[in-house]
Amino acid sequence: MLSIDSEEEAQELEKKINQRYDEFAEEMGMPNHRLEIELEKRYDKIFFKPDTKKRYCGLIGWEDGTSVDGSPKERLDVTGFEYKRSDSPPITKSLQEKLFLEAFEGDTDDLSKYICGIAEDFRHGKSTLETLQSRAGSASLSRVRGRFRDMSRRPGTRTITWGRTMVRETRFGTSTWTERRTGYPTSA
C-alpha cells in the first residue's frame, strides 16, 4: 500500500514515475513521447467500485498542492455514482451520500436504521413522489407494465416504481389521490 502524506512526497513520486516513463519510451525507441503523470489529488480515504471504471469516491486530503479542510461532507468527492447524476432522484442522492460518509467515518451502526427508515416511510406513504422521482420526470424511470402503463400517460397522473413497489398519483381538480402497491412486478 502506498501512503503519501505531504505535497513533497507526492511531487517526488510524480517525478520518479515520469522518469520511468522517459526510460520506458527510450527503450521502446520513442524519444518524443507524451507519457506523463500529474498527481492532482490525495484522498485520506477512498473507495473504488470493483469491476468498473471511473466509479470511486473519497475524502480529499489535498488537491492541486493545497490542503483541503472542512467537514467530511465538504471533502466528499464522488465520480461515476448516481449521486453525481442530475437525473437521479433526491432519495438516491441522500442515501448514497449518507452511505459514503458513514463508511468513511467508520460508523455504520446507524446506516441500517437509516435505510429501514426510508423503506418504512415509503411503505406507509410518508415519502412524496418528488423524493422518489428523478428530475427528468417519471418517463425516465422504470416503466410500470400492464394496465397502469397507459394510465401514466393520462394528464394529471404520474406513475413510478421503486423496487417492487408502484406509486400512482392522480390529480382530480384540487384533490390528489395516491395509490401504493407492493409486490408489483416491474417487468412484463
Q: Which grid cell sits at 172?
A: 382530480
User: 158 lies in a domain?
Assistant: yes
User: 8 lies in a domain?
Assistant: no
Predicted local distance difference test score (pLDDT) of residue 102: 87
Geometric angle at alpha carbon 26, from 24 and 30, rounded to 5°: 105
- pTM (whole model) above 0.95: no
User: 36 lies in a domain?
Assistant: no
Q: Which grid cell sits at 36?
A: 506523463
pLDDT digits (tens, 9 = 90+) for 45-64: 888 988 888 889 999 988 87
Backbone angles phi, psi at 22, to 5 degrees: -60, -45
User: Which band of pLDDT confidence, cut at 50, 70 and 90, is reported for residue 183?
Assistant: low
User: 66 lies in a domain?
Assistant: no
Mention every residue, 6+ apart, whose C-beta is less than 8 A from residue 112.
Answer: none
> What is the average pLDDT score of the chain?
75
Predicted local distance difference test score (pLDDT) of residue 162: 62
Q: What percent of the chain has pLDDT over 90?
A: 10
Mention every residue, 6+ apart, whose C-beta is less than 8 A from residue 134.
Answer: 87, 88, 89, 140, 141
In the chain, the number of structural domains is 1
User: 157 lies in a domain?
Assistant: yes
User: 175 lies in a domain?
Assistant: yes
Task: Identify the bridge partners of residue 171 per DSSP, sorted by sequence position.
Answer: 176
Give the residue numbers spanning the domain of 165: 138-188
Mention every residue, 6+ apart, whose C-beta is less than 8 A from residue 129.
Answer: 158, 160, 167, 169, 178
Predicted local distance difference test score (pLDDT) of residue 156: 63
Interval 158-182 mean pLDDT:
67
User: 181 lies in a domain?
Assistant: yes
User: 25 lies in a domain?
Assistant: no
